[in-house]
Amino acid sequence: MKYTATPLKDCWLITPQLIEDKRGSFMEAFQKESFTAQIGLVNFIQDNEAQSSYGVIRGLHFQEGSSAQAKLVRVLQGRIIDIVVDLRPSSTTYMQQFRIELSAENKQQLFVPKGFAHGYAVVSECATVLYKVDAPYAPKSEGGISPRDLQFSFDWEIPLEQQQINDRDLNWPKYVKA
């Protein structure tokens, strides 16, 4: 595995080593020992999988307090534009965002630490996204940033008229700095 620091503090891009031959391919998608050596101990407790069609934007979501979640995100099918925002007031990258294309082809994974908002847009015909989390979903601790929040000017690479966003995500109140 190759671990590359992103411009955001504690957020990592992980590229697995792909072994290919005439039979197909093989890769280690997660290896606890190398992950812990590079990033630290994260006790993932659940895998979530979502499938969506072109134009769907999910997020940006976060959980606060003791319910905050770290995530390890990868794409099993298709392509997404993945965006994270550092919401940790004590961080040197507070309120900054990072954007990357994750795909089944590039096999890259994004480690999103606790205290970040996370969302993605499907830019292929469809996409299947798998993400590990280290804390259960806690609806009362959930917050969000609208994918159209003007203070962030997110670039989803999808024309406005083709964006599919549910009402809850579209109507998060403007995010106010802590």
Residues that are catalytic: 61, 131
User: pTM of the prediction?
Assistant: 0.93
Query: Tens digits of per-residue pLDDT, 147-175?
Result: 999 999 999 999 999 999 999 999 998 88
When pLDDT is averaged across residues 85-110 and rounded to a whole number, the result is 97
Distances (CA, A) of 94 to 3, 7, 22, 113: 22, 11, 47, 13
Provide the mean pLDDT of the chain.
Answer: 95
Query: Tens digits of per-residue pLDDT, 26-84?
Result: 888 888 999 999 999 999 999 999 999 999 999 899 999 999 999 999 999 999 999 99
Q: How far apart (Å, rounded) are the C-alpha atoms in residues 111 and 91?
A: 16
Q: Would you say residue 124 has pLDDT above 90? A: yes
Q: Would you say residue 18 has pLDDT above 90? A: no
Going from N- to C-terminal start, the domains of the chain cover 43-170
Distances (CA, A) of 90 to 27, 39, 100, 112, 113: 36, 19, 24, 17, 14
> For 43-170, CATH number?
2.60.120.10
pLDDT band at 19 (very low <50, low <70, confident <90, very high): confident
How many residues in the chain? 178
pLDDT of residue 10: 97
Judged by average pLDDT, the poorest of 12-21, 100-109, 139-148 is: 12-21
